[in-house]
Amino acid sequence: MEVPFGRLKNRKNCYLLPSQTPLMQTGLPEKAAEVLQNNWQHGFTIPCEGLYPFQWNWDSGFIALGWGHLDVERAKMEIRSLLLGQWQNGFLPHIVFHNEAETYFPGPDVWDVGRSRFAPEKKTSGITQPPVLGFVLEFLYDRHGDALMDFAAEVFPALYAWHAYLYTHRDLHNEGLVYICHNWEAGTDNTPVWDAIWEGMDSPSYDLNRRDTQHVDAANRPSNREYEHYIHLVELFKSWDYEDAKIGANSPFLIQDPLFNALLMRSNEGLIRLGKLLGREAEVARLEQWQERSLKHFHKKLYSPLNKAYVYYDLRNERKLEAVSSSSFIPLFAGIPSPAIAREMVAHHFDRGRFSGSRDAYYLCASFDPTSEAFDPGRYWRGPVWVNLNWLLYHGLLRYGFGRLAEKVRKDTLELLEQYGFYEYFDPRRQLDSGKTHAYGGNNFSWSAALYLDLIQHPES
């Protein structure tokens, strides 16, 4: 495959930024670079102008991969900036408010994290997001080699502290499976999986000052009632001063999520490999113990023979939540299933299975099971395709040798981005009524652009 962008590399093997190239705006790679450049804010990248005007945790990891192709110094700055928001107990929040903006709710005053004795000087949110930095660092190392080792040495202690926090404070039964206590921690905000949790919650009504629906169509966003549950959880955590022990004992939302835990394990792998190169023996030994414990329990507890995929465990109500989302397949990325289970999962859900549909009705990969009644192809995490989940699935499939299917995921992703632009999420149905668009949510969305730059570097054929 010809990668036109490849002509625009500098001596450090990074692509030139649009402002440095005479071919400005000539092609999609240049356009992707421009999206990142426009969203860059003195040291970090916002996910999307207006809609998400601060620094988000897992977005920054994916964005750093994109910057790695343009200017590796920016990839490093992105990660350093995120770590400025790290709490004293190792916790890494889901938003860092470096800047001021009125276009997002809930802002720093609602979070009020000063109630925690561990809060840093920076203003942050009080919940986290999937831990991607460990594997992001490894991917950057694989692309930049020894030139990245000083940076790896610089951030390794912070990333180790982050994993230590998760295994120390969020693994209630010592089974190597950590919990999330808020739907925003999953990254898949309004997946139908949570519907069963909301049903059991009697959240009060709040005077919501939502800003998201001023930027994009409310029909493609979570409902107001869902937002009341989200805010209610925040109010509970505040009333407990963000103390982990109280959250673990009382939060009505307490889930072992296959996506969050798989990414933690894949990040463990990255840190173990880099830690060995850096001579951090004590930390490597601890990481290996955690990894072993996680591996021992993950499959047993989260695999659903019924659904032939990984599902969610509701710790508060001690039950499996039998629903399949794109998160259900990400354990492939961390090497968790046996080859036989991986084959079972792939046969059941792809290639005319549930997620492909008969006659290849859907782009891969819908964020929620298209055969479910709750599937909603236009509403955020209730059906649309998301580029970051596709990137993880692509690498997961490659890891197990499903090269043809991986290539299909890559091609579907590129097709959506090439035809409709760097949107936040996409309708998975191939055939839409005329006049309908596939592209939803924010435009010029950073991780869509960043991962586009990464995916065009992986021609399989």
Note whether 58 binds ligand GLC by CB under 6 A. Answer: yes
Task: Name residues contacting ligand GLC, limited to 128-187 (CB under 6 A).
Answer: 187
Note whether 368 binds ligand GLC by CB under 6 A. Answer: no
Residues 6+ apart with CB under 8 A from 194: 183, 253
Question: In terms of Cα–Cα distance, which of 416, 427, 424, 417 is closest to 443?
Answer: 424
Closer residue to ligand GLC in complex, CB, 189/314: 189
Residue selected from 5, 40, 44, 56 as contacting ligand GLC according to rule CB under 6 A: 56
Catalytic residue among 138, 424, 427, 454: 424
Q: Is 412 a catalytic residue?
A: no
- First-to-final CA distance of the chain: 8
Residue selected from 34, 189, 427, 454 as contacting ligand GLC according to rule CB under 6 A: 189
Paired sense of beta strands 123-124 and 312-314, if any: unpaired
CA distance linking residue 394 with residue 32, whole number of Å: 20
CB of 43 to ligand GLC, least distance (A): 18
Please list, residue by residue across 127-164, b when 16 or more beta carbons sit within 10 angstroms of its beta carbon and e when fewer do. bbbbbbbbbbbbbbbebbeeebeebbeebbebbbbbbb
Closer residue to ligand GLC in complex, CB, 183/294: 183
Contact region for ligand GLC (CB under 6 A) — 53-61, 113-121, 216-224, 293-301? 53-61
Phi, psi at residue 95, to the nearest 5°? -130, 140
Amino acid at 100: E
Q: Is 283 a catalytic residue?
A: no
CB of 358 to ligand GLC, least distance (A): 30
Contact region for ligand GLC (CB under 6 A) — 52-60, 102-110, 259-267, 321-329? 52-60
Contact region for ligand GLC (CB under 6 A) — 55-63, 71-79, 81-89, 430-438? 55-63
Residue selected from 18, 47, 126, 337 as contacting ligand GLC according to rule CB under 6 A: 47
Residues in the chain: 461
CA distance linking residue 24 with residue 38, whole number of Å: 14
CB 195 within 8 A of CB 265: no
CA distance linking residue 311 with residue 299, whole number of Å: 10
Contact region for ligand GLC (CB under 6 A) — 14-22, 50-58, 368-376, 412-420? 50-58
CB 422 within 8 A of CB 449: yes
Which residues are identified as catalytic? 189, 424
Using CB under 6 A as the criterion, which residues of the chain lie in contact with ligand GLC when the complex forms? 47, 52, 56, 58-59, 187, 189
